[in-house]
Structure 1
């Protein structure tokens, strides 16, 4: 079990049935998350990142056209579990979730201390007094004064509300916390403060994180590995230090070139074109129409090729192995 990843995703699909056809939001994704590491799932809005989180937690709408693949925690296939067993053993026990808009996750008429303690009482059967003590400890862990336990959500700033939702995700001591754009609505200083707090929590508790974001700068603060998502697929997967300094996939290279940097002579460049519709993705490489290095073979859908040790890219340029 020591070599078994905490989370292993193999061939995961989540498609939605809509009036415009079937939307292939998550389309054959393979990923792993190891214990105590931070995996960043990076990509543009609409590429399927949030749908990936919903698939892992099985928080699904009714218009599902396809939902299959394998999602294993410590080798146990969670897709084989019934809904009730999944709720008892996985959701908020092994995997918890921090959604993008903190106010949407909080009941405006219930004190935040009670809301943070609720998962512990619901999933573990802990009595009110012990749950309140644990909530106080978790508030300290995420940097919220204990006096805030008695406040209502509207009495807190956006940054404090986000910390409260993080405390709610950590209260049951899950192995993995999925965070969906946790700092996108916050100012830069508050973003930095929360990212520093996440790094401290990861170091102190050994909790693994999956950070879903479109923000390259923020993600670089915590990432151990990066999975770049485009049009429902993972197109590059690499250690963070490799991805941010030597991106391989043409989309990754253009994405990094679009990020402003201090002491940079070149001006940031935009990525031409628009992402394809997930209801009608192209038959070949999904980035081909925007790619400056497109060639004939891009008419076929590429698999993931090995670029370097622990570094893969879904691009025909790497079909012969190594860098083109």
Structure 2
């Protein structure tokens, strides 16, 4: 593992068993994340983003058919840990997660403070009084008054509930926080407030983030790197500035061209067709049926190609000697 890397994921796969067949939700994903870095995982709904986040933290449903690959945290291969050791040393201790839909992540009949303090009771063995005092500190960090510790989830607004769930993830001071659509279903001003909190936490605490989202505009505020997913695979992996200014993969170009611009007369474009079913993936390049640049070689499955400068792209247009 390169110096400075916090997380390394090698060939991670997560397949689900369904009545209609095997769904390849995450299919051979590999990436590295440095300390104090934020990586945004972008893509359309159903591309495997949330499955990747849950798989890394072993929050798996019962119908998992295959969960494979190697995951390293610092120098330790945490994918080799048994479930008990993973729960004790990794889950909500060094890696935490903010779930999508904060109201569903909170127990409606338990006070918010008790839920936020729970990881310290379970994983650190702290007393209730000490854990609640720490919860008040973390509430202040995410911009919530300590008075809200005694309230129930239904007494909080959507933005406050999202901050409370973020506080729950931060209370054990993890190295990495995975955020699954943290600003979905929130109004624009509340979204901006949540993103400002995340930027401050990254700056002041040095916490690393993996932000799972389909919101390109919001994600650009915090991203250091971008991993673009399509049909269970990463199709482009690049530094955020490079990706947003000059995307390479045809899917990335179309995705960014679909975003409305304030000071641009050009109308937003759209991507024709639909993403493929994860139960029945096309042979060859998975984006080829929707790609305006497809050519003969797209019938073969492209690997993730590393270009000069370190950007990685899964597209035959960038293979050595390619002449589409």
Structure 2 CA distance for aligned equivalents of residues 295 and 323 of structure 1: 9
Contact 1:111-1:153 at 8 Å conserved across structures: yes
CA contact 1:117–1:135 (8 Å) conserved in 2: yes
Superposition CA RMSD, Å = 1.4
Q: 1:307–1:323: 8 Å Cα contact kept in structure 2?
A: no
- Name the residue aligned to 2:276: 276
Q: How does 1:18-97 map to 2 (within 5 A)?
A: 18-97=18-97
Match of 1:180 in 2: 180
Question: 1:5-49: per-residue Cα shift (whole Å, max 9, x none)?
Answer: 111000000000111110000000001111111000000000000
User: TM-score when scaled to structure 2?
Assistant: 0.98
Query: In the alignment, which residue of structure 1 is the partner of 2:219?
Result: 219
Q: State whether residues 305 and 318 of structure 1, in contact with CA within 8 Å, keep that contact through their aligned partners in structure 2.
A: yes
Q: Which runs of 4+ in 1 moved over 4 A?
A: 321-324
Structure 1, gaps ≥5 residues long: none
SS state at 2:196 partner: helix
**Number of equivalenced pairs:** 324
Matches within 5 A, 1:197-236: 197-236=197-236
2:286 is matched with 286
Distance in 2 of aligned mates of 1:153 and 1:308: 50
CA distance in 2, matches of 1:323, 1:136: 60
Q: TM-score under structure 1 normalisation? A: 0.98
What is the SS of the residue equivalent to 1:184? coil
Task: Say if 1:276 and 1:282, in contact at 8 Å, map to a contact too.
Answer: yes
- Indicate conservation of the 8 Å contact 1:229/1:236, yes or no: yes
Structure 1: distance between partners of 2:307 and 2:293: 17
Deviation string 1:61-114 (CA, Å, 9 cap, x unpaired) is 111111100011012111111101100000001100000110111111111111
1:4 Cα deviation after fit:
4.9
Whether contact under 8 Å (1:308, 1:322) holds in the other structure is no
Conserved 8 A contact 2:244-2:256: yes
1:306 positional shift: 2.5
For 1:271 and 1:114, locate their aligned partners in 2 and report how far apart those are by CA, in whole Å. Answer: 46
Pairing 1:287-306 to 2, within 5 Å after superposition: 287-306=287-306
